[in-house]
Structure 1
Amino acid sequence: MKKGVLLNADISAVISRLGHTDQIVIGDAGLPIPATTTRIDLALTRGVPGFLQVVDVVTQEMQVENAYLAEEIVKNNPQLHEALLVLLTQLEQRQENQIALRYISHEAFKEQTKQSRAVIRSGECSPFANIILGSGVTF
């Protein structure tokens, strides 16, 4: 059995195949997922698992270089936005690198998901609870 915190085989496989600049998405229950992109559906019921919980576990296994958020999260989900910024700051400290954070429109965000290796669907049911994580290198 795996010793790390991430036990999901599909997510582990995607992360292990990421190269520098590859991207994965962690989304809420309502984010549209392109038909051509790998879907990893974790949603069990409303709020389970939560978005932040999924981001926390995934980023313990993934080296993150940059991230995209929909600019709408700032006004429409400020509490989640603040909690996410705290999580990303903690990740920067753990990884000992700065994570370039970019805000784009929700429409541009949805277009960008088409470039991702996978979309991980959480059970989150709050607005704009989505992030695109860009893979870095560990050296």
Structure 2
Amino acid sequence: MLKQIPKVLSPELVKVLMEMGHGDELVIADGNYPAAANAQLLVRQDGLGVPELLSAILTLLPIDTYVSSGIALMSVVEGDAEPAIWEEFKTIFSQQSVENDSLEFLERSAFYERGKQAYAILATGEEAIYANIILRKGVVK
């Protein structure tokens, strides 16, 4: 047991976060995302939702500020409404002092292709659609 490590972060996930270097990306995927098919490194987080995991990860992981956007979301398909979960993400960003005015939105296929290059994909049990997010690791200053 360690101090100040959020309890939802497993030892395996903390190890992954420690191994990542500046510019490495992490996908936090909802339950519909093809995580196993796309992952170079798959970390199962089935009992957790994306907001809970995102909030915990952001307590440890710096977001890259040397690029135009260190955070990417999957764009909504034409005709679909903006997902309510995005408001939860914005609240989390605010609580963690993460700038959310430079979010990048990627078309679904482009998001999947970028996800294939990620250092790791976290497969959650999140049921909300469009809950997928890519975090680009920054540097500790």
TM-score range, shorter chain: 0.7 to 0.9
**Aligned in 2, Cα 1:128/1:138: closer, same or farther, shift over 3 Å?**
same
Q: TM-score, length-normalised on structure 2?
A: 0.83
- Where structure 2 has 5 or more consecutive residues not aligned to the other structure, the ranges are 65-69
Q: 1:35 to 1:81 in 2, by over 3 A?
A: closer
Equivalent residue for 1:12, pick from 14, 31, 54:
14
Alpha carbons of structure 1 residues 73 and 16: separation in structure 2 relative to 1, 3 Å: farther
Return the letter of the residue paired with 1:11: L
The aligned counterpart of 2:86 is 81
Counterpart position of 2:67: none
2:117 to 115, 131, 137: 115
In structure 1, list runs of 5 or more residues that go unmatched: none
Q: Which residue of 2 aligns with 1:49?
A: 48
CA distance, structure 1, for counterparts of residue 140 and residue 26 of structure 2: 17
The CA deviation at 1:40 is 0.6
Q: SS of the residue aligned with 1:54?
A: helix
What is the match of residue 91 of structure 1? 96
Q: How far 1:15 moved relative to its partner?
A: 0.6
Deviation at residue 51 of structure 1 after TM alignment: 1.2
- Of all paired residues, the percent bearing the same amino acid is 24
Measure how far apart 1:106 and its partner are: 1.3
Indicate the larger mover: 104-113 or 32-41.
32-41
Partner Cα separation in structure 2 for residue 89 and residue 35 of structure 1? 30
Q: CA deviation at 1:76?
A: 3.9
The AA in structure 1 aligned to 2:89 is: L
Maintained 8 Å contact 1:28/1:129: yes
**C-alpha contact (below 8 Å) 2:72/2:103 kept by paired residues:** yes
CA RMSD of aligned residues (A): 2.0
Structure 1 counterpart of 2:25, one-letter code: Q
Question: Contact (CA 8 Å) 1:42, 1:122: kept in 2 or not?
Answer: yes
Q: Residue 91 of structure 1: CA displacement?
A: 2.0
Deviation for aligned residue 1:50? 1.3
The 4+ residue runs of structure 1 with deviation greater than 6 A are: none
Which whole-Å deviations, capped at 9, do the CAs of 1:15-36 have from their partners, x for residues lacking one? 1011111101101112112455
> Under a length normalisation based on structure 1, what TM-score does the superposition of the two structures give?
0.84
